[in-house]
Every structure is written in structure tokens, then in C-alpha cells.
Structure 1
Amino acid sequence: MPANVEIKARVRDVARLTENAERLSGTQGCTILQTDTFFHAPRGRLKLRDFRDGHGQLIFYDRPDSEGPKLSRYTVSPTDDPAGLTAVLSEALGVQGTVKKERRLFLVGQTRVHVDHVEGLGDFVELEVVLREQQSPQEGEKVAQQLMEELGVRQEDLLAGAYVDFLLALAGDAKASR
């Protein structure tokens, strides 16, 4: 199963972070619209990513919900029928939640830098250091830490969990305040 070392952080200054990502990648990045539907799963996370263009990916991943760099193991299967697959999985497993985002993707060495605007949450950055064969998670963590410094990501902005967790917590807070 492929693996990467990931971090997720809140972004205070999206223009500055994007400028740093452009400089480090040497590109303007590419914009990707995504709707991720998360399904109930006995372990890890299962989501259907719809690129809103008739294509998608079914993604299973397993990683700890902790701040800072963490090892994530994942499997991806492409689909040309994301809506149909979402309907089937919704019936079979039930939907945990849905995340809509606009993502700017930059490639910096072996790292995918995602500058995300998440509907209902705001701006975030995700780093995914794609581990090479025989590369240890510790080496991936060093790459992530170095890139955090170069991008201007602060330790205090690191987050644990997934966007869907934050959205579900907001929905729970909204219900509790009624």
C-alpha cells in the first residue's frame, strides 16, 4: 500500500503561502474542484472524491488523527461514474459527511502541496510527502518539517483530523446552540 507523511494546518495568510508555494514549485499550480463524500467504515476513512467533471476516485486511507507529520497509508481507485458510486456506497455504508473544496496543487520535489479553500471552514494547507520505496517515515517527516519552514507554516497552526471532522463538529455546535 502506498504511503505518505502528511501535515494539515490552518492558513493565516493564503496569499503569502500561495506565493511561497509558487516560488518553491516554480509553477502557478493547478486548481482542482473537489467534492469528497465520506462513508462510514470500520477502520480508517473511505471517501469518494468527485472532481465535478465526470471523473472521481474512491480513496481509502488510514492515518492517526494527530497534529504534526503523520504516516498515512492509502489506496486509490479511479472511477468514471462518481455520482453512481456515491449513490451505491451511500446506500450500503451511510454517509458520514461531505466536504467541498477548491484546491491549488503544487509539486515541490516529492511533496504535493495543497492550498485548500474549504466551504464552511476557510483556508488550509496540506503537505503530502510521497514516500519513495525504502524511504522511512522519519525521512518523510524531515522533508515535511523543512517544507513547513520554507512555506511559513507554524507549529501552532497544525491540525489533527480531517476536514469532515471539523465540519461535523461545527454542525454539532450549531445544533447545541439552538
Structure 2
Amino acid sequence: MYADISIKAHCASPSEAESTLLQHKADYVGLDMQTDTFYETELGKLKHRQGNIENVQMHYKREISGGMQKTEVLLYLKNPSPATVAQICDGKQILAQVKKLRKIFFIDNVKFHIDHLEGSGHFIEIEAIDLEGSLGINVLRQQCSYYKELLQLADEDLINDSYVDL
């Protein structure tokens, strides 16, 4: 079963974070210009992401524990058609939109985002992903902790809020 543990933090030096990732052989996927549209929902968050790399329709909820976020994905559609987005979102109120520039990196199963939100600054996100359920939550937590230390993210820089909540 899919599992996802993540850490998000303010990032004082995005170039230093990027350099550290590349020194540790991270694969750079590219720069994505993303617009996330959030819709009303009774549980969690319903989001349509439009970017030049990532395009998804997603319904999820997050639990926060020890500075880490565990994500339970209820719906995940890659490259949804306009008809699918309309079927899911029509009639729902748009709550907010978040626009960001996102540099995407991978080291094995761990995805890194170095984000810039206009007016809010730079952020980094570490997302340890277990697509098949073969690694387990404890391994994902250990991976997040390891990369948090490697990237020298201080506890006071961690944020638990979604960008839409900032």
C-alpha cells in the first residue's frame, strides 16, 4: 500500500540545498511552474495541480507527528483530462490558488522540492515515498530524518501547514 512521509521547511539558501542534493547524486527532473487550485471538500484537501512537468488531480489528508507529515492519498490521477477535472470539481467552490516555481529532484524513492512562492519566500520539501508498501513507515521516517540533517534544516524552520494555509 502506498505511503508517504514528508518534511517541509523554510529554506534560507536554495542554491546551497540544490548543491548538497547534486553532490549526493540527486537526479534533477526540472523546473516546474505550478498552479495548485484547491476546492472545497469535507475531508482533507482536494487539489488540481497544473504544471509543465506535474499535472495531477489529488484528494488527500495529512496527519502531523514529530515535524513529519503522513499523507493518506484518497485519489490520485496523473494528467487528468478536462472532463475528469470537471466531473470531480464542478459545483465545488474554489478556496484558493497557489502559484509556485518548483525544482524537482530524486534520490532513489525520495523526492525533493525546492520551491519559491511569490511573496512567501523559499521552501524545501523532503518526500519519502513507498509506492508498493515494501519499505514501511519507519524507513520513510528515517529517510526524512537523514535528509533533514544532511540539508541542515533546523527544527524552528519546519512548517506543518500546506502552502495554501500559509
TM normalised by structure 1 equals: 0.81
Cα distance in structure 1, aligned partners of 2:126 and 2:86 = 27
Residue identity over aligned pairs, in percent, reads 26
Unaligned runs of 5+ in 2: none
Residue of structure 1 in register with 2:118 after alignment: 119
Residue of structure 2 in register with 1:64 after alignment: 63
Cα distance in structure 2, aligned partners of 1:88 and 1:28 = 32
Asked whether the 8 Å contact 2:8–2:124 carries over to 1, the reply is: yes
- RMSD value, Cα: 2.4
Residue of structure 2 in register with 1:147 after alignment: 147
Q: Which has the higher strand share?
A: 2
Residue of structure 1 in register with 2:25 after alignment: 25
Deviation of the 1:33 alpha carbon:
1.1
SS of 1:41's equivalent in the other structure is coil
How has the CA–CA distance of structure 1 residues 82 and 22 changed in structure 2, closer, same or farther, with 3 Å as cutoff? farther
Q: Which has the higher helix share?
A: 1
SS of 2:159's equivalent in the other structure is coil
Amino acid across the alignment from 1:164: V
Residue of structure 2 in register with 1:51 after alignment: 51
Paired residues, number: 164
Unaligned runs of 5+ in 1: 167-178
Deviation of the 1:65 alpha carbon:
4.9
Select between 121-130 and 91-100 the one with higher mean Cα deviation. Answer: 91-100
Cα distance in structure 2, aligned partners of 1:110 and 1:129 = 6
Deviation of the 1:142 alpha carbon:
0.9
Deviation of the 1:14 alpha carbon:
1.3
Residue of structure 2 in register with 1:79 after alignment: 79
